[in-house]
Structure 1
Amino acid sequence: MTRAALLVCPTSGKGRAARLAGTVAARLRTAVDSLDLHVAGSAEGTADLARQAVDDGVDVLVVLGGDGGAHLGVQACAGTSTALAVVPAGTGNDLATALGTTSVDDVVRALHEGRTRPLDLGRLGDGTWFATVLCAGFDSAVNERANGMRWPAGPRRYDLAILAELATLRPEPLVVATENGRLELDALLVAVGNTGSYGGGIPVCPDADDADGLFDITVVAAAPRRTLLRMLPTLRTGRHVDHPAVRTLRAKSVTLSGPGWVGYADGERLHALPLEVSCRPAALTVVSAQVGA
């Protein structure tokens, strides 16, 4: 018998999750033996309901929402026997994309076929988990601006936020320390990727593998604004890693430090650097529709 809980984040996608909840619940009930529906009006309430469902022993926690809701689901399911599934209804939906679940039909199909797999997670020093990308610098500023924008919907919001933040962009001192060494430079952004993409599909760490026990780390060093403008189109293709201003590293753990930097993970604001994070192999079981998963 498969017991599942559907966790609805009603404000995700400017109310899209709330509008889809009934349809999604009906579709999921065709793939599980029982389904409990949980709806919360705040992030705190969503986190509490996720923990309650996991503590109650459900086999699968399905999050209907964006990366923020998925992030809360990760906190509840990490290190437990409860599998996490994500039905995308937010702005970026990067974790759902990494899992290949771009719709409820993908989740239903994966549940029917019993398609689950282990996923590595990042673990911060304060115990917070993240599933996709931890970032700081320019990309954090873009996240902050995009989160405050009411228009447009979807990934296009991140594109406009990028252009707006370029106007005030300036490098800051950054230290990236891993088990393999220490990198000190003036930089514009740093991204620690468990999966490859953030910001609605921007492959900032294009070669990241969420099952290899390692982070892919992308650092963009100080460069003239005109150079960055020429680099921007390559962000959508992953070719930015070939640029001379870009450094890439791989590591099991990393400490980021530097004045003026604020960290984000899974699109959620953390706090100012320093941040310590380690890769925890197979820390989460996920429902995945990826071919070969």
Structure 2
Amino acid sequence: MSIGKIAVLGSGTMGSGIAQVAALSGYEVLLIDVDQKFIDRALANIGKALQKSVEKGKLTTEDKEQILGRMKGSISYEDCKDVDLVIEAILENMDLKKQVYQKLDENCPSHAILASNTSSLSITEMAAATKRADKVVGMHFFNPAAVMKLVEIIPGLDTSDETVSAIEEVAKKMNKVPVYAKESPGFIVNRILVPMINEAVIALGEGIGTVEEIDTAMKLGAGMPMGPLALADMVGIDIVLAVAEVFHKEFADSKYRPALLLRQMVRAGHLGVKTGRGFYKYQK
């Protein structure tokens, strides 16, 4: 299957990053969201990111204009009528995702692949909401999508080999390194990473160390380039909590129980870098 036009559903941090990578790789990109103001903001941020690349000599002004020229925005699923691939990057809520996949199934051409950027949810369950389960697959990018090289490819129960091969080809064209993961909550990276972050938050809540002490200890003692609490801020504390809750529900094992402090942070709206305050404070 030849992929020429990609729709990215969701213009938040991950969606806009994926859209930027896709356009930079030569794909025609349709960025879809529920409100034009979200799309306009995302395209403006992409333009600023590309301008920084121009200033660093990585792109020419002509390159920048060509990349932006390959991108369009829309608030209608009907504009998906000629796409070859949809990469969904909306909230980590299964009910919402299934509603979205039903709409995509109705509006996308029969050959189109539907890929989810989910970090923890079941590809098989999303696929069951469509009439094209063989063309539904996980394509999990990492934040920031424009920089991070890894893409996890997760086949659902009914995903075809042809679909998997097509997604691998797209990932490589985007200059990413694809790794196959069995469908299981969290796949590979988050299955290991989120419990570690959660344990760091538990340690903080128990007063074992301060934020700075915990992060410094893990950087210098475990060779981590970034401490787990700083990483939680970058990922989004709400995302960490959502994944931890999926683990706790799916595995029914108390070892995955989310730290109370994680819940408190989310309730307070302290979600990390994106809100200006998490375990650390950031300038907005």
Asked if TM exceeds 0.5, the reply is: no
Per chain length, whose mean CA-contact separation is higher, i.e. which structure has more relative contact order (CA < 8 Å, sep 6+)? Answer: 1
After TM superposition, the score normalised by the length of structure 2 is: 0.34
Which structure has greater helix proportion? 2
| TM-score normalized with structure 1 length | 0.33
Higher strand share: 1
